[in-house]
Structure 1
Amino acid sequence: MAETGKRDERHGSHTETGICVHSLPPGNMQMQPLRFLQHCGSCNRALGHEADIYIYKGESAFCSTECREKGMMIDHARRNPS
């Protein structure tokens, strides 16, 4: 076991008070983007890397506040049918 408070760069982990906490993988490993961040949940427009993304409940991404509001209204209608 590594000494308390030492970082092990080979495994991307850090031990502190006997607990090993894993961090992100080394830079040579590619991370796949979360699929819900690729397209707007309302209009299906592609979401760019430089554009603002509006999130609702951590599971839906939208290209604008208008699309997010529309998604919120649809979600509310599904949860509270008349």
Structure 2
Amino acid sequence: MMRLRLRVIGCPRRALTLLDAARPDCPDCHGEGGIHHDYGDETGEYAGTHWYPCDCSTRWCVVLMPLPRLPHMLRRRAHRDPWSDEPPF
């Protein structure tokens, strides 16, 4: 049984795709679609997370249609003060 969903992808070009969702009863990923693995640096401190896609969610994908690029003026941009050195919270 397939659980279809729509998704916009951006690589190599923006497109609308139809893909199969992860199995909710998958014993490997528990329905998340991937396996998360935390790793540390040489001192044992947290350094990041690797994400490996599960076989239950990467079986089927179809590109329905390519999406046009938006003109430069219509692209979303966060308004930031160029003189501020604070992170955008």
- Greater share of residues in strand: 2
TM-score range, shorter chain: under 0.3
- Greater share of residues in helix: 1
Query: Which structure's CA Rg is the greater one?
Result: 1
